[in-house]
Amino acid sequence: MSSLSLTILGSSAAVPANGRFPSSHYVAIQNRHFLIDCGEGTQMQLTRFNIPIQKINYILISHLHGDHYLGLMGLLFSMHLQKRQAELHLFGPPGLNEIILLQLKYSKSVLNYPLHFHAFDPTARTVIMEDAAVTVETIPLIHKLPCAGFLLKEKTKPRRIDKSRLSKEVLLQHIVQLKAGHDVMNDSGELLFKNEEYTLPPHRSLSYAYCSDTAYNESMIEQLREVNLLYHEATFMEIDMEKAIETKHSTSRQAALIARACQAEQLVLGHFSARYRDLDLLLAEASVIFQQTSLAVEGETIQINE
C-alpha cells in the first residue's frame, strides 16, 4: 500500500537534450497532487504520461532559472482553456507573480479559476503549506540564484482498527474515536473499549525531498534525516568537478554522500547535464557510495510503501 508516489516528467539540466526534458516532478501524497518545477514541455509530458492536469492542486517552483519554470504559463493557460474552476495554489520565490501577471496583462487574459500565489524566502527553512495530513517545507539550497528545495511529509496517520476484534457492539462512532487514538467511554464515564485492544499502530508516515539545483550542501542533512525518498540533482560527474563548482551544482558522488549522511531510504539522481548520454556512468559513481540509488527516468513512477 502506498500513499506517496513520484512520477518523473523532466530530468535534464538547463536545456532539453538527449530526449530528456527540463526539470519537473509530479507527486501524489494523501490525495494531494503536486507539480514540482515546470520546465519547458511539462504539459506535454503530463499528457504523454496520462496525468490529468486538472488534478494538480499545488505547483511549487524552486527558483527562477528558466529550465525550472518556463513551462508554467503554457500549463496555466491550458488549465484555463479546459475550463478549470478549482482553485490552484502556486508557491515560488518573489518575482514569479510579476512574471505571470505581466503575461496575463499583455495577452488581455483573465483565468477562469482562482490562482493563489504564495511567495517564500528561498534562503529560509519555512513551512509553506500545511493541512490535516501533509506539510511542505522549503529546503535552502546553494545556487547562483536564491533557490529552495521542498520537503513533503505526511503527518502521523490515524491508528488502524483491528478488524479481528470488532463486534456488533462496536458502532461507527466508536470506530471514529478509536482511530483518533481515544478510549471509548459511555455517558457515565465507564470504559467500553480500550484503544490499544482494538487498534493497531498507524502506518508509517512517508516523506519526499526535492533538491533541485545546489552545490554540495551539508547544512540540509539534518532537515532530511531519514527521508524515505530523496531526489538530488547530479548535474555532473566527479571528472567535471570544476564545472560543478563554477555553476554551483553537484556531482553524482556528492548527491550520494548527502543521501548516506542523512540516512535516506532511496536516492534518485536527476538534472543531468546535456554532455552525458550514458547516464549509467553517473549511477555507477553514486552507487559506490549509496547503494539504493536510481536514475530519474522520465515516465517512471516510484511508489513508497507504507
Cα–Cα distance between 80 and 167 in angstroms, integer? 51
Q: Is the alpha carbon torsion for 300, 135, 128, 101 positive or negative? A: positive
Q: Residues for the chain: how many in total?
A: 306
Cα–Cα distance between 93 and 302 in angstroms, integer? 28
Q: Measuring CA to CA, how many Å separate 261 from each of 131, 221, 255?
A: 30, 7, 10
Give backbone dihedrals phi and psi of 134, rounded to 5 degrees, phi first: -140, 145
Cα–Cα distance between 128 and 148 in angstroms, integer? 12
**From 37, 67, 121, 187, the catalytic residue:** 67
Whether 67 is a known active-site residue: answer: yes
Residue type, 302: I
Q: Is the alpha carbon torsion for 19, 20, 22, 28 positive or negative? A: positive
CB 154 within 8 A of CB 29: yes
Find how far residue 107's CA is from the centre of its chain. Answer: 31
Give backbone dihedrals phi and psi of 290, rounded to 5 degrees, phi first: -135, 110
Q: Is the alpha carbon torsion for 122, 126, 131, 132 positive or negative? A: positive
Find how far residue 221's CA is from the centre of its chain. Answer: 17
3-state SS assignment for residue 230 = strand
What residues are labeled active site?
Answer: 67
